[in-house]
């Protein structure tokens, strides 16, 4: 169960105005995007294969806080990291949840988790939900992560960046240190928002599913659905595959807003969502760590059970590996590892996911499509881990906290930290500008499109 702190208030109508401490300047690509979005950007034309590897639940500071040249935790002033209680008083020591394997007398500061839990062992999970993340951000002060979390001080844990397998790739290519996840909260909303630039709707959701806020906008009771009928926390689709325990009255109705898949298909650009464990799941024998709510296209009417679009575009990760080896990758490939290999706290460890991701990278890098490929590695959301950089204001949905993002390509800059402000919508913008697609919403239409990570000279 998620812990709710009733004295910590959430003013819904003010969120868009108080989250940010300021936005960085957008790149020229974002500024020049037209509403039609139909022209292919010539500078992106050398890239014919875009691979997005979508991992789980890590903040930037949790993994790359020590990365050289990045805006991390090294040398950070105490007022940038101290956590406060619900009365805004700084803790004397970081509070710790029971059985967290963390000492109770740690200073109120970020701490290296490997002292207590090795990186090849899972930590406990941390609350990562729509309303709670906004409370943690606390108007851009980033100081209520511990008090709002069921994992308390574990939110302040970080890994030594130099020891991470993917950090070696970041050192060779591009690490973006101003990349924010698309929507506040957890995996479900972020996955759907990633492919549609919109929040899913459930207008007929029961009162039992809806969050409740009082007349002052304060959160009284949490729920999967917002008071006005948007699904903001995990719920399962009316379509299969879904878990057997999901009750019929809680199933999210088929969504009909356009997706990035629809835009690609409209332009006859090949694409697929490759998920670990997909074939077993649709055969009715899902792996115990197959995450149903990590399959966003399943929630859409166009990709319902038995449709031609599902058969063509929703595929198993093993097919991605085979296509990479054969040089038959689609123009756009989204890769979603199964739970054991996605880095999610609670049910898997960090190193297993990183090593698997290196295998995915190498499959592309050693295959025929590498010469004109761009690989983007990012995380769906922060997983409840603290980050010290306030997200910019966009709209009521987000963006949320910073997450790590690495860009790997023959055309990518080398050994470069990209300080451009991005969010997950920037990946959509990158795909849209490369293939001349119409934006899905204002969110992706305005997003910077990653081109600052590339250097075309002499390539």
pLDDT of 337 > 70? The answer is yes
Residue 372 in 3-state DSSP? helix
Q: What is the CATH number of the domain that holds 415?
A: 3.40.720.10
347 located within any domain: yes
**pLDDT for position 3:** 41
- Which helix (H) or strand (E) element contains residue 274? strand 271-275
Query: Does residue 2 carry a pLDDT above 50?
Result: no
pLDDT tens-digit readout, 156-195:
999 999 999 999 999 999 999 999 999 999 999 999 999 9
Helix (H, G, I), strand (E, B) or coil at 265: helix
* Residue 2: inside a domain: no
Class of residue 44 by CB neighbours under 10 A (exposed 0-12, middle 13-18, buried 19+): buried
Within-domain flag for 233: yes
Instruction: Report residue 459's pLDDT band, with 50, 70 and 90 as the boundaries.
Output: low
Tell whether 128 is covered by a domain: yes
3-class secondary structure, 444? helix
Half-sphere exposure of 39 (CA within 13 A, CB side): 8
The tens digit of pLDDT for each residue in 22-64 reads 333 333 333 333 334 457 888 899 999 999 999 999 999 999 9
pLDDT band at 213 (very low <50, low <70, confident <90, very high): confident
Task: Let me know: does 65 contact 158? Beta carbons within 8 Å.
Answer: yes
Tell me the mean pLDDT in the region 285-300. 97
Residue 426 has pLDDT above 70, yes or no: yes
Compute the average pLDDT of residues 217-232: 94
Strand ranges for 169-270 from DSSP E: 174-176, 179-180, 212-213, 219-221
Residues 51 and 47: their CA atoms lie apart, in Å, by 11
Examine residue 458 and state whether it is found in any structural domain, yes or no: no
Number of domains in the chain: 1
CB atoms within 10 A of CB 249: 10
Mean pLDDT of 229-247: 97
Look at residue 8 and tell me whether its pLDDT is greater than 50: no
**Containing structural domain, residue 282:** 12-453
Residue 3 falls inside a structural domain: no
- Does residue 333 have a cis bond before it (omega within 30 degrees)? no
**pLDDT > 60? residue 15:** no
Residue 72 within a domain: yes
pLDDT at 1: 36
Provide the pLDDT for residue 218: 80
Is 353 part of a structural domain of the chain? yes
Sign of the Cα pseudo-torsion (317, 62, 234, 439, in order): negative
Give the tens place of pLDDT for each residue, 98-131. 777 899 999 999 999 999 999 999 999 999 999 9
Task: Report the C-alpha gap between 229 and 242 in whole angstroms.
Answer: 21
């Amino acid at each position: 169960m998620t812990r709710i702190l009733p004295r910590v208030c959430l003013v819904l109508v003010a969120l868009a105005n108080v989250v940010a401490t300021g936005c960085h300047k957008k790149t020229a690509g974002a500024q020049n995007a037209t509403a039609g979005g139909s022209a292919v950007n010539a500078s992106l034309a050398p890239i014919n294969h875009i691979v997005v590897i979508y991992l789980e639940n890590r903040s930037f500071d949790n993994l790359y806080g020590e990365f050289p040249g990045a805006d991390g935790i090294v040398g950070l002033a105490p007022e940038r990291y101290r956590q406060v209680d619900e009365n805004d008083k700084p803790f004397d020591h970081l509070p710790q949840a029971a059985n967290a394997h963390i000492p109770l007398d740690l200073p109120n500061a970020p701490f290296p988790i490997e002292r207590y839990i090795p990186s090849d062992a899972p930590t406990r999970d941390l609350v990562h939900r729509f309303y709670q993340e906004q409370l943690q951000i606390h108007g851009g002060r980033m100081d209520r992560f511990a008090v709002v979390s069921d994992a308390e001080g574990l939110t302040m844990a970080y890994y030594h960046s130099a020891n991470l397998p993917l950090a070696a790739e970041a050192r060779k290519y591009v690490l973006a240190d101003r990349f924010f996840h698309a929507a506040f909260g957890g995996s479900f909303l972020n996955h759907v928002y990633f492919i549609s630039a919109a929040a899913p709707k459930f207008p007929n959701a029961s009162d039992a599913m809806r969050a409740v806020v009082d007349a002052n906008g304060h959160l009284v009771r949490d729920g999967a659905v917002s008071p006005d009928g948007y699904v903001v926390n995990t719920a399962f689709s009316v379509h299969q595959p879904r878990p057997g325990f999901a009750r019929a009255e809680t199933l999210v109705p088929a969504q009909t807003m356009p997706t990035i898949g629809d835009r690609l298909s409209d332009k006859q650009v090949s694409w697929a969502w490759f998920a670990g464990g997909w074939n077993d799941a649709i055969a009715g024998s899902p792996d115990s760590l197959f995450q149903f709510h990590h399959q966003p296209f399943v929630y859409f009417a166009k990709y319902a059970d038995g449709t031609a679009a599902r058969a063509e575009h929703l595929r198993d990760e093993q097919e991605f590996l085979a296509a990479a080896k054969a040089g038959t990758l689609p123009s756009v490939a989204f890769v979603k590892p199964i739970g054991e290999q996605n880095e999610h706290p609670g049910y898997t460890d960090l190193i297993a996911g990183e090593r698997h991701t290196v295998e995915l990278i190498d499959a592309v890098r050693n295959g025929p499509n590498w010469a004109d490929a761009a690989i983007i590695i990012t995380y769906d959301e922060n997983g409840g881990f603290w980050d010290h950089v306030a997200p910019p204001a966009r709209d009521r949905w987000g963006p949320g906290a910073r997450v790590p993002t690495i860009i790997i390509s023959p055309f990518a800059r080398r050994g470069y930290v990209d300080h451009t402000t991005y969010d997950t919508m920037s990946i959509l913008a990158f795909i849209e500008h490369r293939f001349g697609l119409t934006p899905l919403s204002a969110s992706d239409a305005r997003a910077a499109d990653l081109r600052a990570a590339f250097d075309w000279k002499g390539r």
